[in-house]
Amino acid sequence: MPGRLISRLRGSPFAFPLAALTALAMFWISETSYTGAHETLGSLGERGIARTELQTLRHALAEAESGQRGYLLTGRDAYLQPYTQALQTIGQSLHWLRRHYAEHPDGAELMQRIDTLTGEKLAEMEQTLAHYDPATGQGHWRDLVMADIGREQMDGFRKASGQLFALESERIAKEQESVNQTLLLNRIGVTAMTALSLLALFMYLRQTAALDRQRAVQQQVIQAERDNLEAEVAARTAQLKELALHLQTVREDERSHLARELHDELGALLTAAKLDAARLKSRLGPMMTPEVRERMAHLNEALNNGIALKRRIIEDLRPSSLSNLGLAAALEILVREFSTRMELAVDCDLQPVSLGPDAELTVYRLVQEALTNIAKYAKAKHVTVKVGAEDGRVVVTVCDDGVGFEPSLPRLTAHGLLGMKFRVESEKGEMTIDSAPGRGTAIRAVLPEAPPDETGDSVPALEALSA
């Protein structure tokens, strides 16, 4: 009976269309399942990061409170460093969580409560520190601590964050179940497709020479489609590269614009405030009490710190030394500041090279990103930075003797290096990373030298941005 059915199907003109229709249906089911699983996995990743950020926020808030209490009890400035670092971590985590729950409103109410409680807790800690007198260790801060306001805020924060964490865990469990169902459906589809393929193979082995010719024609059609797809992929890849390069350029332009705005607007405000403070101090003269004199000194110091912070931000956004002094001098300043800040020994060998302005900025950002990664992850004791010319090419190397890593493994923190690799390639260069756990990291970039008539400033220098 099965043999007769197969014989009838083989002789029927509807056999091949039916098989093709079945294959298309299975293909559609497979693609639909894959799309759903891909979206679900992406959502799982986002929710996993959300749980991590929630844990980071809770830990950072506890660290901030611990540092504050340590400073209040001992009066030692060393306890303010973890407090300040925890504040930065809290700000970053809150920023990510706000953006995440703006796109996922299922936990928006809890996130709003967490945001409010965090702000209230930070305000309470800041107010407590404001009532602490570093000179005597006295003040009204004890009354604020004993009022249990901070404990109530922390209890509310822990409850809200625990609820949001549980909600994320529940969502993750549901999405994992959805992925398992999708995998089961794919398994069934693959099994069915395998059975249909075996049946089709059995039928095609019994076809005539005409079917062989038809298969050859179809093969040619498939090859033509493949060639068309490869050409389209190549064209799309080129478009994406051009778009990414445009985005990099826009980003640098925005940095330059923001640096100018900070210099012109914020700089003028801070300078005016400093002048007003100086005039007020001179007019008060001998009438100033010791407390007023201390407050004036504190105000002047705060304004000076604000001006210094403005300068550092401007230099991070767009290094004026690169436009005004050249690549070698800008890198020397960058490396010297890194060495001083991190208290690391850094060997420099910075030779003058011939590069276009865009390539110079690429090299500067490459070294900056490498030093940032060393400061965050490497735990190095010695760093080497070299820039020089070899056989018509500019060679840039940044090496450290830190913990290293495995370049072939995916890392959540590798986006910066991947971005720099693409940026170097957009300048017709190459970048390689040589690293292994326990033996440090070496980053090497090679870019073509620019003709002398192509060197110069690609953007107007930020005149006197550090003034």
Residue 359 and residue 361: Cα distance in Å, rounded? 5
Give yes or no: residues 418 and 274 share one domain.
no
Task: Indicate the range of 16-20, 139-143, 195-199, 443-447 predicted with least confidence.
Answer: 139-143
Range of the domain at 103: 15-207
Per-residue pLDDT band at 315 (split at 50, 70, 90) = low
Of all residues in the chain, the percent with pLDDT exceeding 70 is 79
In a domain, 191, yes or no: yes
Q: Last residue of some domain: 177, 207, 237?
A: 207
In a domain, 215, yes or no: no
Per-residue pLDDT band at 455 (split at 50, 70, 90) = low
Closest CA to 202 of 337, 60, 5, 373: 5
Give yes or no: residues 167 and 196 share one domain.
yes
Q: Domains in the chain: how many in total?
A: 3
Q: How far, CA to CA in Å, does 19 sit from each of 12, 15, 31, 103, 191?
A: 12, 6, 18, 43, 15
Give yes or no: residues 310 and 255 share one domain.
yes
pLDDT at 61 over 70: yes
Q: Could you tell me the end-to-end alpha-carbon distance of the chain, in angstroms, rounded to an integer? A: 94
Give yes or no: residues 339 and 272 share one domain.
no
Average pLDDT (312-326) is 74
DSSP 3-state of 410: coil
Residue 425 and residue 238: Cα distance in Å, rounded? 13
Q: What is the pLDDT of residue 245?
A: 64
Compute and round to an integer the Cα radius of gyration of the chain: 32
Give yes or no: residues 285 and 334 share one domain.
no
Q: What is the pLDDT of residue 447?
A: 93
pLDDT at 146 over 90: no
Per-residue pLDDT band at 57 (split at 50, 70, 90) = confident
Average pLDDT (271-277) is 80
Residue 329 has which token pair? 């001098």
In a domain, 226, yes or no: no
In a domain, 214, yes or no: no
- Could you tell me the CATH number of the domain that includes residue 28? 1.20.120.1730
Contacts 24+ apart (CB under 8 A), 88-95: 89/56, 89/57, 89/60, 89/63, 90/57, 90/60, 90/61, 90/64, 90/118, 90/122, 93/53, 93/54, 93/56, 93/57, 93/60, 94/57, 94/118
Per-residue pLDDT band at 34 (split at 50, 70, 90) = low
DSSP 3-state of 171: helix
Give kind and range of the element (H or E) at residue 388.
strand 382-390
In a domain, 165, yes or no: yes
Residue 249 and residue 362: Cα distance in Å, rounded? 11
Give yes or no: residues 375 and 450 share one domain.
yes
Q: What is the pLDDT of residue 460?
A: 40
pLDDT at 5 over 60: no
In terms of pTM, does the model score above 0.85? no
- Could you tell me the CATH number of the domain that includes residue 443? 3.30.565.10
Q: Which residue has the higher pLDDT, 147 or 286?
A: 286
Give yes or no: residues 19 and 146 share one domain.
yes
Give yes or no: residues 276 and 295 share one domain.
yes
Neighbours of 60 (CB within 10 A): 22
Give kind and range of the element (H or E) at residue 10.
helix 2-11
Average pLDDT (329-348) is 90
Q: Last residue of some domain: 179, 207, 235?
A: 207
Give yes or no: residues 354 and 434 share one domain.
yes
Give yes or no: residues 86 and 203 share one domain.
yes
In a domain, 225, yes or no: no
Average pLDDT (96-113) is 81
Per-residue pLDDT band at 304 (split at 50, 70, 90) = confident
pLDDT at 151 over 80: no
Q: Which residues pair with 353 in a beta bridge?
A: none
Residue 155 CA neighbour count, 13 Å, CB half: 5
Q: Which residue has the higher pLDDT, 304 or 247?
A: 304
Neighbours of 185 (CB within 10 A): 16
Average pLDDT (150-173) is 79
Of all residues in the chain, the percent with pLDDT exceeding 90 is 12
In a domain, 136, yes or no: yes
Per-residue pLDDT band at 393 (split at 50, 70, 90) = very high
Neighbours of 196 (CB within 10 A): 14
Mean of pLDDT over the chain: 78
pLDDT at 394 over 90: yes
In a domain, 464, yes or no: no
Give yes or no: residues 24 and 171 share one domain.
yes
Q: Last residue of some domain: 270, 291, 317?
A: 317
Average pLDDT (388-413) is 84
The 10s digit of each residue's pLDDT in 354-378 is 888 888 888 988 998 899 999 988 8
Give yes or no: residues 45 and 175 share one domain.
yes
The 10s digit of each residue's pLDDT in 406-440 is 887 766 555 677 778 888 888 889 999 998 898 89
Strands 345-350 and 430-435, sheet pairing: unpaired
